Amino acid sequence: MASRLGVVVVGLAGFAVLACGGTGLGAEPAKLEVKGPLAGLPSAPGPHMEKIKALGDGEWVNLGKPAPDPKWGQGRGRSWSHKMAYAPEFQGAFICGAGPHAFIKPDGHYDDIFFYDLNAHKWICIFEGVNTKTFGEDCKTGVLKVNDDGQLVDKDGNVVPLAARSHSGQTHTYDPDSHKWIYNGCAPGGIDPDWWSAKKEWYLAGAEHLKAQGKPDKVANQPLYFNTVTGKFERPAGKKPARGGGARGEATFYLPTKKAIWTYSSDAGQQIGNPVTGEWVVNKKPKGAPKGGDYGACYDTKRHRIYLSTGGELGKDEGYVYIYDVATDSWSNPPNKENALPLPPSNTGVLNYDSVNDRVVVFRAAEYVASWNPDTYEWTPKVPMPPKFPGVGYPGYHGFYSPEVNAHFVYAAADGGDNGAMWVYRLKKAAK
């Protein structure tokens, strides 16, 4: 296995063909030199993969605590941050979000970003977080500075993320076309932190030096990108959306058929962004969209639709599932059928689209599992979660689905804690 700073040549395009169900025969995979923390992925399957392979219909396995990053430790639990954005060519998923408000880890770092390598059952640190112990001095001496776009960078000009806007909810996604993770929940500007930290002593000690540089903020409300190939963060300037993503409850997805970024919240409306130009098209009040906030959501890769929760208490004649159809740019809300259940918001469970079985699968905290048919809108009766599945100590629930192994991964950990365990579930075995 290469080191985190190594360079590994892999055939990502060829892997993507296999991931989508093709044979890949006769195709010469494109070669990409992957640098940085994800070099060497996907990892060779570890012995735990046999446990996943052996799962039957409706069965669980507890893989336990993932191995820590050798330098930066565990990917900690974080409340109101249930989505883990899955990167198929690397066989793993990103976890991010502040967790407890303005939470600082024991080593002094704030707001880190981790990647779960499912083949190796281990954590890989993407960004260790801002060092609050040295932030003021680093800004004073030029270790951290501001570039011409108004973005915080290190002394070599590399983009440095500066805090999430509280919790990550549904505000990050993955672009397999450009091999970039997209974080729409970063702070509003290049040198602005989240609102919980804006008045903290550690930030103010550095902010006076950053603001004294007088650089205009050209990246406000733009997403943050992590380029998995170069191993570096990017945040290009562009035409600002009406309101930046990142407030708890917004939903963000990459639209492969449009090669665009889609985000929705009831106050900002629907926004579709061009990741190349940074330009956004805004529909302030799309007809038929849900109200409220703190959405549970997932993307249907077969129908190219996004399913969202109601964002609050159920209204009269309101169904539990809202549907955004990418092709027609329209919303619908089918009526509930027997056994209908609310889609969990971002701190009480996980929901995924299971592409092998063509179902939306709902994991409601430590309570139950159920599935929804996107064609007929029918629900299965709920099934209790395993008796030992964690449900105490204010855990955060985070998750993703891997079609390559046909399994759902649910990571449960205390808010801000490094005590989490990875549970794996299979709805049904793939048809032979």
pTM: 0.92
> DSSP secondary structure string, 3-66?
-TT-EEEE-HHHHHHHHTT---TT--PPPEEEEGGGTTPSPPP-THHHHHHT--TTEEEEEESP
Distance CA 93, CA 151 (A): 26
Q: Taking residues 148-176, what's their average pLDDT?
A: 91
| Secondary structure (3-state) at 214 | coil
Is residue 287 within 8 Å of 337, Cβ to Cβ?
Answer: no
Residue among 16, 36, 89 at smallest CA distance from 227: 36
Alpha-carbon dihedral of residues 15, 18, 22, 23, nearest 10 degrees?
Answer: 90
Q: What is the pLDDT of residue 21?
A: 34
Q: What is the pLDDT of residue 30?
A: 56
Which of 239 and 218 is assigned the larger pLDDT? 218
Q: What is the pLDDT of residue 195?
A: 85
Q: Taking residues 42-71, what's their average pLDDT?
A: 98
Q: What is the pLDDT of residue 391?
A: 81
Q: What domains appear along the chain, each with residue ranges and CATH number?
A: 1-40 (no CATH), 41-426 (2.120.10.80)
Least confident of 18-27, 127-136, 288-297, 391-400: 18-27
Mean pLDDT of the chain: 89
Q: Taking residues 292-310, what's their average pLDDT?
A: 95
3-state helix, strand, coil split of the chain in percent (to 5) is 10, 35, 60
Tell me whether strands 297-300 and 407-414 are parallel, antiparallel or unpaired.
Answer: unpaired
